[in-house]
Structure 1
Amino acid sequence: MLNDSELTNLRNRFKKDAEFLMQTTTSGDEDEKSQEEKDAKPASRFDRHTVFWIVASVAVTYYSDFFHNILENDDIKGWWFNVGLILLAISLSLVMFCIVYLDWYKGIQHYDQEYPAVPPITTAAFIAASCSLNIALWPVWSFFTPLILFTQFMGVVMLTVMCG
C-alpha cells in the first residue's frame, strides 16, 4: 500500500488539479456571460448578404423559368420529384415548428436543447430532399440543376432568417 508521504503527495496533486479546474470553471463563466451578451444583442437580419441571396433566388426563378418547368416539363422524374417534395415538406414543417411555435409562441430560443432530435431530423430530411430533387430535375437543367436548387435554397433560408 501507500505510505504517508506518498498519500500526502497524491493529495497535494489532487488539490492542485482541483484548483486548476476551479480556475478554468470561473473563466468559463465569463465566456458564458459573453455568450449571453451576444444573444442579447441580435445581429442585423437585413444586410447585403441576405439581400444578395434573395435577389439571386428571384433572378434564378425568373431566368430559368422555374415554375413553368416544374409544372409542365415532361422530363422530370416523377417518383424522385414526389419523394423530394415530401421530404422538403417535412423539413420545412420542422423549421416552421421551431420558428413559429417554439420561438414566437413559446419563447424558446434554444430549441435544440429542449428538442434535441429536431435539428438532425430536419437536416437529414433536407439532404435527402436535395438529392431527390437533383435526381428528378437533372433531365431539365442538366449540370445547372445543383446551382439552381442551391440558389433557391439560399433564398428561402435568407427569407426565413429575416422572418425568424
Structure 2
Amino acid sequence: MTEDRRLPPALAAVAECAFDYDDGIDFEPYTEFSSVEDTRSWIRSWTGNQELDGSEFRVFGQDGTGGLAMFWTVREGADLVDQPVVFFGSEGAVGVVARDLAAFLWLLADGLGPMEVVEHADADPNPNEELRDVAEKFAADRRQSGVDVLADVRREFPDFEATVTAWCR
C-alpha cells in the first residue's frame, strides 16, 4: 500500500493559483503532500529531536526561504481539512496560521500567507481576487477576514510555540 499524497480539492485549487511575491504572499503551494519520509527527516532536522516521526504533520507548501506550511493533526478524529494549519520558518519562527483549511483559504484571499502572519505580525492584507474565488468556491459559508482568522486560532492554540520549543533538543 502506498501513502496518499493527494491534496484535498481546495488545496489543489490553491496550487493552481499564481503566487507573486511582489503581490505580498511569499508562498509556494505543493501539488501533493510531502512524503512521510521527507516529513520525518524535516522535523528531526528542524528540532534536533531524533525521536519525533512527524506523523502529526502533512506538509503542503513553503515560502521562498524554505519555511513550511502544513496541517497539524492535533484534533483527534477530525478530518484533515478540519485540522489547524501551522508554519515552521526556516530561521526558527513557528506559529499557528488558521484553525482549519476553510480559514486558511480566507487568510490567503485576504492576501496573507503563512510566513507573513508568523514572521511579520504587522503584515498588511492585500486581497487577492484569484484566491478569493477559491475561498468562495470551497468555503463560502465560512467567510472571515484574515485578522479574524488569526484572532480565532491564537485564542484556540496560544501555546503552540511553547509546544514546539519543548520538542527541540
TM-score by length of 1: 0.25
Rg larger in 1 or in 2? 1
Q: Higher relative contact order by CA 8 Å / sep ≥ 6: 1 or 2?
A: 1
Higher strand share: 2
Higher helix share: 1
